[in-house]
Structure 1
Amino acid sequence: MLQEIQEFGSHAMDIYDYLLAGVDPRLKDYPLMQSPVPMTAILLCYLFFVLYLGPRIMANRKPFQLKEAMIVYNFLLVALSIFIVYEFLMSGWATTYTWRCDAIDTSDSPQALRMVRVAWLFWFSKIIELIDTIFFVLRKKHSQITFLHIFHHSFMPWTWWWGVGYAPGGMGSFHAMVNSSVHVVMYFYYGLAAAGPSFQKFLWWKKYMTAIQLIQFVLVSLHATQYYFMDSCDYQFPMIIHLIWMYGTFFFVLFSNFWIQAYVKGKRLPKQDIKQCQNGTAVYTNGKYHENGKHHENGTSNGITHGVTNGTSNGSAHHENGSAHMGKMKKA
């Protein structure tokens, strides 16, 4: 039994060494690119914190506000994403690439090395974006920590480490450029949202953020699909194209489900949105109940009011119109 374990370990190490041997030598001096172990350790620590340790630490604490930190963080990511898009364009997509079958330039030319650098920077930006979830945990926004969010933030950095390591450039980098373009818009929105209620009037386009994400995955899948209809293509790593196609299709399904749940069924409506009753006498804003000029705290932690039925003497709203009025509120 011990001998079998040793043989298995030996084979595993052989496979590991074989995989590392395929990493582009131009990346050997870049941080975290010498081995997938540090990157994997970072992601495991991330999952442990956001799924277990963080919620336990915050269980009996008040949520942090972190307004200033979030504003700075989001607008720094806007600037970083703009820079990444520009570098992808200048490294090939706006200069020498055909937008069809584009092979990886494995030379040490300035443009090829520029592509290697921006490919690594794109991957490293995914590590930075893990802070998104940490903010959710510290602010106790547990409803935002969904399967889609966790899977996207952990799966993409892990797979892209291998993508950057083996194929820094070529047609496989198209989805990285598109993703960074989307993040310019996305983090700009988050930055405005973090600035406070005074900027809410500029955020009417939140619904279209998901639409932009869906368009992204359609573009990525269509671009990858070209490969299957070409008579010949000298792109060096077809496996990357297969993975990108599956990635685009899979996330299109996940984000489509989010769109349906949020905007068709209304199960994930924005918490800051105003819910106004059909009779116009009551509105709910940011977890507070307002009726005929009166203001009442509803006591809910997530900013969504589920109805107020107690008398005014205990701080809740009294519904003068009785059950008919309550029925209208439920309908709304």
Structure 2
Amino acid sequence: MGSPVAAGPGRVLGLVSSVVNDTLEFYQWSWSIRDKRVDNWPLMQSPIPTLIISTLYLLVVWLGPKWMKTREPFQLRNMLVFYNFGMVLLNFYIFKELFLASRARGYSYVCQSVDYSDNVYEVRIASALWWYYVSKGIEYLDTVFFILRKKFNQISFLHVYHHYTMFTLWWIGIKWVAGGQSFFGAHINAFIHVVMYMYYGLAACGPKVQKYLWWKRYLTILQLVQFHVTLGHTAWSIYIDCPFPKWMHWGVIFYAVTFILLFGNFYYRTYKQPKEPVKNGKIANGAVANGVSKSESSLVAENGKKQKKGKAKGE
């Protein structure tokens, strides 16, 4: 009978070897079913560049507020106007490309499999989805601007989770399913981002425009509707056995549920929960993303110093 001591390490090594082999086989298999059309597109050769960019983003989220703690906030009004309206144009381009190419190709909004051919419309859809993925990387600047303006209260778990996962996970979407059902969610989201960045661009234009921006809460409602539609659409696709990768369907369902919970909680706390009373002349939780809050146009500036004629230093 063999020694239990000798058998133990051998069993562990065998288990480790089996796990490594299974992992390598899975990697090779998954790589064999990738969308080969995008192999030579920027950022698509490997997940490493995307992971590096996303890791740098998390470092900025962690270190940025520490760096800005003893510094004056930047106003960046002109930069915000340019950035937000630039994002309006980019998202409108993505929406337009997905809409026109999917109609020309006869895409179904109920069930659409991926066509990996070099058909001109299929490549056009894949290209639009690639730009959608890139736009999520550009949106990391939302957080950078919050940090530079010392809007630290805007950098919530929801904000970071949303930005980090959208850019990182969409690399997987482009690498394996740059077409088919993938166009549906990106199509809706690009339209919503046209409206959202239009709002933020107008808000950055200053108080003369901000008084007309009473519809911010409806942006959150629109996003919640989007997540419910995506959830229902994906669940229906599974029910009718739509020929689209099931792992992607289940991933989308899980992802949509997390957003429904997080955005639902944000909506309740922002618009339904009773507001805190005024304390020491300040209203708690009075902030406007990518714009200027009412409290900023009063006597208290972002950096804690008094303003002159309603303007913060540096404006």
Partner residue in 2 for 1:124 = 134
* Contact 2:73 2:303 survives alignment (8 Å): no
Which 4+ stretches in 1 moved above 2 angstroms?
Answer: 6-23, 232-235, 266-272, 284-289, 297-303
Alignment partner of 2:121: what SS?
A: helix
Structure 1 residues 193 and 18: alpha-carbon distance in aligned structure 2, compared to 1, 3 A threshold: same
Alignment of 1:5-20 (within 5 A): 15-20=26-31
Partner residue in 1 for 2:261 = 253
Matched-pair identity in %: 36
Partner residue in 1 for 2:287 = 271
1:40-95 superposed Cα distances (whole Å, 9 cap, x missing partner): 010001001112x2112211110111111111000010001111011111221565
Matched, 1:144 2:144: no
Q: Post-superposition shift, 1:29?
A: 1.4
Residues 69-78 or 164-173, more deviating? 164-173
Alignment of 1:206-225 (within 5 A): 206-225=216-235
Alignment partner of 2:211: what SS?
A: helix
- Distance in 2 (CA, whole Å) between partners of 1:254 and 1:10 is 38
Candidates 99, 109, 116, aligned match of 2:119: 109
Q: Post-superposition shift, 1:22?
A: 3.1
Candidates 226, 234, 247, aligned match of 2:236: 226
Name the Cα RMSD after superposition: 2.7
* Contact 2:202 2:209 survives alignment (8 Å): yes
Q: Post-superposition shift, 1:135?
A: 0.4
Matched, 1:46 2:57: yes
* Contact 1:172 1:241 survives alignment (8 Å): no
Candidates 162, 180, 191, aligned match of 1:181: 191
- Distance in 2 (CA, whole Å) between partners of 1:243 and 1:233 is 15
Q: Post-superposition shift, 1:270?
A: 3.9
Structure 1 residues 136 and 239: alpha-carbon distance in aligned structure 2, compared to 1, 3 A threshold: same
Alignment partner of 1:286: what SS?
A: helix
Structure 1 residues 17 and 36: alpha-carbon distance in aligned structure 2, compared to 1, 3 A threshold: farther
Q: Post-superposition shift, 1:18?
A: 4.3
Matched, 1:238 2:254: no
Structure showing greater Rg = 1
1:80-121 superposed Cα distances (whole Å, 9 cap, x missing partner): 111101111122156501211111111111011111111111
Partner residue in 2 for 1:327 = none
1:242-292 superposed Cα distances (whole Å, 9 cap, x missing partner): 1112222220111010010000114675436xxxxxxxxxxx952576xxx
Q: Post-superposition shift, 1:26?
A: 0.2
Matched, 1:31 2:42: yes
Alignment partner of 1:106: what SS?
A: coil
Structure 1 residues 228 and 23: alpha-carbon distance in aligned structure 2, compared to 1, 3 A threshold: closer
Matched, 1:197 2:211: no
Between the two proteins, the alignment pairs up a number of residues equal to 282
TM-score by length of 1: 0.78
Residues 165-174 or 92-101, more deviating? 92-101
Q: Post-superposition shift, 1:14?
A: 5.6
* Contact 1:172 1:244 survives alignment (8 Å): no
Candidates 25, 33, 40, aligned match of 1:22: 33
| Structure 2: gaps (5+ residues) | 1-8, 277-283, 306-315
| Structure 1: gaps (5+ residues) | 273-283, 290-296, 304-332
* Contact 1:74 1:187 survives alignment (8 Å): yes
